[in-house]
Structure 1
Amino acid sequence: MKAPARTPPPRTMKRHGLELRARLRYLYHGASPLAVRFRLTVVVIDFAIIAFFIAAPLLKEQGRSFYIIDYAIAALLAADLVARIAAYSDWKDWFKRPINWIDIVVLATLLFPAWALNFGFLRILRLWTLLNSDLFWRTVGHRFDNTKVEAVTRALAALVTFIFVATGFVYTSFRGGHPGLVGYIDALYFTVATLTTTGFGDVTLPGPWGRLLSIAIMLVGITLFLRLGQTLFRPHKVTYPCEDCGLTKHDPDAVHCKACGNILCIPDHGADH
């Protein structure tokens, strides 16, 4: 008679758990080539998932196959969230960061697609959380020695995210409310036309709530466009911590810290070329 399988002792299970957490911390926060390649893979998969989110309103007609992909993505994002929590030094502190709660909301819309159908447009927020995450900038952003690329990327992410969130809201809330507002492309066309204050008038939202939403899209859109313009034309700065006061942002040719006057020695990366 075959002996029953023995349950590993608690100490062994705890040791395996600590080893797994150490491995995840190494992959998500390490600086080795293997860790960087792992995070690059995560970023590429994230962009593929975001592309699916953008195309989702056009793919829902596929029926069962759409929901299979939907749940597969939910499993991937759930595994990623659990791994990030395990890799974080203090999981309680992880839950205190609002950007992480946005990822949880995105996951909820994937786990319950039938119940959260009208909130599916919130999934595109994954683009904003990705381009504002430490993981992305530790993996990709370290290639740049100035803050202009980061500022432009963040501003562009905010603008693109707002466009698709607004489009999704218009599509789910006002579809069929105007003869010209039938499909997702119509909602996207209305959002861009309103956001840029072009206002052709061929597609409009009915009622006072539609007018209020149009006003909100115009105001927020103009603000995000101005922010993007400012980051494009503002002189860029480099990241170099001052030894005395800790100020990290300085002009590329700065000799003294603007905050405390300490002498700086900012490396001239352009001199190598």
Structure 2
Amino acid sequence: MQSNSKSAMDGGFARLRRHLHFLYHSRARPARLFQTCVVTIDLLIIAFFIATPMIRDASAFLWYDYAIAIVLAVDLTCRGLAETDLKRWLRQPTVIVDIFILITLLFPAYLANLGFLRILRLWSLSRSGFLWRPLSKRQLARWQQPVQAVLNLVTFLFVATGFIYTFFFRFSPGFAGYIDALYFTVATVTTTGFGDITLPGPWGKLTAIVTMICGISLFVRLAQSIVRPNKVYFPCPRCALQMHDPDAVHCKACGEILAIPDDGNS
């Protein structure tokens, strides 16, 4: 009797994993609707992360923080159950970033100075396959790389702004401090350099140097994504190379046979 109960539980768990795999990885209409809801929730969470420095002193902030931690924990658990190779999935950089973000949400009092790194969730979202499935139509596929380059640039801008605000403008009154940090970041990344707002001391100068170098690199990457031939996002199952030519049959890194869906099957 006990063995039958255990078999039933194992069967139910296996069905749950198959259903989650369908929701997170299928291109069927119900799965697409689910994935759209996940992306929408992610965007709302990212908006909260961007606004965090300005609302951190609100009385309900910790409740919002822990509520988002629960949502992110559920999402990570479901994504893990949907994977066929859990160990390989846990080694992916996007998953590591999401786990780190979850830790900062669970311990906001101890990791407050690292809260600006939560905006890396935008980078993690941009690397998810189903974010780009609405762009898989022939007329939209060419926009995937430029949009991803823009998201990388936006992610960097807000990460840099959060870092600069946390360590240089934290004690400025209210909303003004964050705007000063954002203004300095944009002026530095674009090499405009008005000089009306500067960061004090050697660490301020080093921060400005790193911001300029990274910002210029991301701008160059954005230009390359527009000029270079189009590639598609399709992770290789063996070596995890992310981008391939649309008509690739083998992975150029490891030679693995690929099965990239063509436009007619999208």
Residue identity matched to 1:109: T
Map Cα deviations across residues 8-49 of structure 1 (whole Å, 9 max, x no partner).
Answer: 832222111111111111111122211111011101111111
1:79–1:237: structure 2 CA closer, same or farther, 3 Å change rule?
Answer: closer
Letter in 2 for 1:15: G
- Contact 1:146 / 1:237 at 8 angstroms: preserved in 2? no
TM-score by length of 2: 0.82
Cα deviation for residue 148 of structure 1 reads 3.1
Distance 1:213 1:267, change over 3 A: closer
User: CA distance change for structure 1 residues 18 and 151 in 2, over 3 Å: closer, same or farther?
Assistant: same
Q: What residue is the counterpart of 1:251 in the other structure?
A: none
Pick from 211, 217, 220 the counterpart of residue 223 of structure 1: 217
2:148 counterpart letter in structure 1: R
In structure 1, runs of 5+ residues without a counterpart are: 1-5, 248-265, 269-273
The root-mean-square deviation of aligned C-alpha atoms, in Å, is 2.7
Rate the CA distance shift 1:59–1:176 in 2: closer, same or farther, 3 A. closer
Residue 57 of structure 1, aligned match among 53, 56, 67:
53
Pick closer, same or farther for the CA change 1:134–1:234 going to 2, 3 Å: same
Partner residue of 1:172 out of 166, 182, 196? 166
Give unpaired runs (5+ residues) of structure 2. 233-244, 253-261
CA–CA separation in structure 2 for the residues paired with 1:15 and 1:37: 26
Shift of 1:146: 6.4
1:13-52 aligned at under 5 Å gives the runs 13-52=9-48
For each residue in 1:206-260, what CA deviation from the matched residue of structure 2 results, as whole angstroms up to 9, or x when unmatched?
A: 11111011011011111111111222244546753255x567xxxxxxxxxxxxx
Q: Over residues 49-106 of structure 1, what are the superposed CA-to-partner deviations in whole Å (9 max), with x where a residue is unaligned?
A: 111111111122322x121111111111100000000000011111121121011111
Instruction: Identify which of 130, 136, 157 aligns with 2:151.
Output: 157
Indicate the residue corresponding to 2:90 in structure 1. 95
Q: Is the 8 A contact 1:59 1:66 kept in 2?
A: yes
Count of aligned pairs between the two proteins? 241
Q: Percent identity?
A: 47
Q: Distance in 2 between matches of 1:30 and 1:235?
A: 27
CA spacing shift, 1:237–1:9, aligned 2, 3 Å: closer
Q: Match for 1:149: what amino acid?
A: W
